[in-house]
Structure 1
């Protein structure tokens, strides 16, 4: 395999995983670790990645702004693993909030198929629809201004409704986290302010997101890591990110 072809595959792996490890790449491509380090230096020089101890991560990138229809078909297996973990955290007789998030649609579907009796408050239409045939789930919609791209309600009316409730657990979506400046971001200010209200209403606030979002940023900061109790992921992030999360006392689930 030529170096250029190998480097293209390294970038593909980075886009899928958010990080790569020298030793694993060496075994995957059947070349020496020094050869892989040379590849990473070349890619870093071209601005395609940032080398770390023992590997590399993607340069931070702007998260892609796509609507719910497109996002539902992306990273499905990772979202299912996240949803499985979140579902196991929900106990019967709890009141939970499911924010606008395609992962939360999967959580809703799992609750609908279970025998857990819970109250679900949500601002997302597809979450409400998931419970259309579920007599054991009490569903409360926030109302508000409907945003088709988000498949849900955000803004002042939704925020006013949310502020009247106190929920046991809130599961919140995010487009990106920067652990070094502790920012949790989304694309839209109204969406961000609605998420902020959800965090305030919750006894425990959990982010549900894929690990790759540690390397992405939205344009609007709606929370600090210090506002979050835990993050539910499909896989643990790299050691450097874990250390920063520990500093912020954020649990990884």
Structure 2
């Protein structure tokens, strides 16, 4: 095996398992431990991994906690692709939930401009406003404690109202997904607990997120991949990610 092939294989193992051990890699590739250490140093110099005592882990980034108004114009083209995929899944006379998410704002706009007759439940103010131009869509706002940062309602009163409903499809936003521990994260505890309640009322739960969020982490774990039926992204993620999603029986669109 050539050196570059070995480096590629090490990265694949890292992406799948979340860590590598020098001793194990030495045995796998039938090379010395010093050779593996040089490989890991090479990958670290390329900013692809972080070396640890006896091995290495992949580099993950912490997502930045920004207001909705600052996030709405970021990665718009990717979000439009995701929103269009979600739009195509929504059928006549269904009841859906649109969670606090900049991608869901775009989805709401597509629905508002369509002829689909559906019921939308949401805890996001911008989504409620978007449907003011469409008489075919019945809109239910959860109410509760309003958050300026999130542009929506979260907390115990909101959760109590959400749990009174059952929806055909729920579309959830997230700050990041960690495929190693299967966690789905956000920044705000109240937002996370509210998202958890939305997951509980959905017959089918969709996570709407850009591909890059597989490599980002928020600070509050509100769910795991076993709670999600389908992840909608702008394009197909790496094979190592797809393998993990197979383990959790999570579809990808």
TM-score normalised to the size of structure 2? 0.80
Native 8 Å contact 1:58 1:215 kept in 2: no
What is the CA deviation profile of residues 214-241 of structure 1, one whole-angstrom value per residue up to 9, with x for unaligned ones? 0000111100100000000001110111
| 3-state DSSP of counterpart to 1:171 | strand
Q: Are the counterparts in 2 of residues 48 and 58 from structure 1 also a CA contact under 8 Å?
A: yes
User: Which contiguous aligned blocks of 4+ residues in structure 1 show a shift greater than 2 angstroms?
Assistant: 40-43, 45-51
2:162 match: 162
Name the counterpart of 1:95: 95
Which residue of structure 2 lines up, in the alignment, with residue 66 of structure 1? 66
Equivalent position of 2:232 in the other structure: 232
Query: Any stretches of 5+ residues in structure 1 without a counterpart?
Result: 1-37, 52-56
State the aligned residue count. Answer: 211
Residue in 2 that maps onto 1:83: 83
Q: How does 1:1-253 map to 2 (within 5 A)?
A: 42=42, 44-45=44-45, 47=47, 49=49, 59-253=59-253
Q: CA deviation at 1:133?
A: 1.6
* Local SS of the residue matching 2:222: strand
| Structure 2: distance between partners of 1:80 and 1:50 | 34
After TM superposition, give the deviation of residue 67 of structure 1 in Å.
0.6
TM-score, scaled relative to structure 1: 0.80
Give, in whole Å, the separation in 1 of the partners of 2:142 and 2:44.
46
| Cα drift, residue 50 of structure 1 | 6.5
Contact 1:124–1:151 (8 Å) recurs in 2: yes
Does the Cα contact within 8 Å between 1:175 and 1:217 map onto a contact in 2?
yes
Q: Taking structure 1 as reference, are residues 148 and 182 closer, same or farther at Cα in structure 2, changes over 3 Å only?
A: same
SS, match of residue 96 in structure 1 = strand
Please list the CA deviations of residues 143-173 of structure 1 after superposition, one character each: whole Å capped at 9, or x if unmatched. 0111011000000010000000000000000
Following TM superposition, by how much is the alpha carbon of 1:179 offset from its aligned partner in structure 2, in angstroms?
1.0
Contact map agreement 1:185 1:222 (CA 8 A) in 2: yes
C-alpha deviation, 1:125, in angstroms: 0.4
Unaligned runs of 5+ in 2: 1-37, 52-56
Give the Cα–Cα distance (whole angstroms) in 1 for the partners of residues 137 and 115 of structure 2: 9
SS for the counterpart of 1:150 is coil
Shift of 1:45: 3.0
C-alpha distance in 2 between matches for 1:46 and 1:74: 26
Q: Secondary structure at the match of 2:241?
A: helix
Secondary structure of 2:132's counterpart equals coil
